[in-house]
């Protein structure tokens, strides 16, 4: 069963504007983690931000913030003041503890293009 859903295959944003990338998840486990990664065309997966299921406040890291709505099971990434270097593939991921250990599931990704 699919556990992470990213419904936006591609997004465009004007430079210096904010953009929201959507992510919804499905789990019955009370303890889980939500992550966002950026993957430029070079291929490296760059960790951006983390939100734990028990965290009361939304995570923020510089221009990145995670809009965590637990009841809706959504964990959207907000990028403020977009820059040309933000153009990349963005993956939402969830970790949860299975009987074999920590399992990591990735969404299908959103391709973000920043327009000058």
Partner 1 sequence: DTEVTQTPKHLVMGMTNKKSLKCEQHMGHRAMYWYKQKAKKPPELMFVYSYEKLSINESVPSRFSPECPNSSLLNLHLHALQPEDSALYLCASSQALAGNYEQYFGPGTRLTVT
Supply angle C-alpha 74, 19, 96, rounded to 5.
30
* CB of 83 vs partner 1, minimal distance in Å: 21
CA-to-CA distance for 104 and 116, rounded, in angstroms? 35
DSSP state, residue 86 = G
In the complex with partner 1, the residue whose CB is nearer, 98 or 116, is 98
In the complex with partner 1, the residue whose CB is nearer, 78 or 89, is 89
Taking residues 64 to 93 in sequence order and writing x for each that binds partner 1 by CB under 8 A, - otherwise, the string is: -------------------------x-x--
Q: Which residues from 6-65 bind partner 1, rule CB under 8 A? A: 31-33, 35, 37, 42-47, 50, 52-53
Strand ranges in the chain using DSSP code E only, listed in sequence order: 4-5, 10-14, 19-21, 24-25, 32-39, 46-52, 60-61, 64-69, 74-79, 88-98, 101-106, 110-115
**Number of shown-chain residues binding partner 1 (CB under 8 A):** 29
In the complex with partner 1, the residue whose CB is nearer, 4 or 19, is 4
CA-to-CA distance for 34 and 15, rounded, in angstroms? 27
Contacting residues toward partner 1, per CB under 8 A: 31-33, 35, 37, 42-47, 50, 52-53, 89, 91, 95-97, 100-104, 106-109, 111
């Amino acid at each position: 069963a699919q556990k992470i859903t990213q419904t936006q295959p591609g997004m465009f944003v004007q430079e210096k504007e904010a953009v929201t990338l959507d992510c919804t998840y499905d789990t019955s486990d009370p303890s889980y983690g939500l992550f966002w990664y950026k993957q430029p065309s070079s291929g490296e997966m760059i960790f951006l931000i983390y939100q734990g299921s028990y965290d009361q406040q939304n995570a923020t890291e510089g221009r990145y913030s995670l809009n965590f709505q637990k009841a809706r099971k959504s964990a959207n990434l907000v990028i403020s003041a977009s820059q040309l270097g933000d153009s990349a593939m963005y993956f939402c991921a969830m970790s949860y503890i299975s009987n074999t250990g920590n399992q990591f599931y990735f969404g299908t990704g959103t391709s973000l293009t920043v327009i000058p």
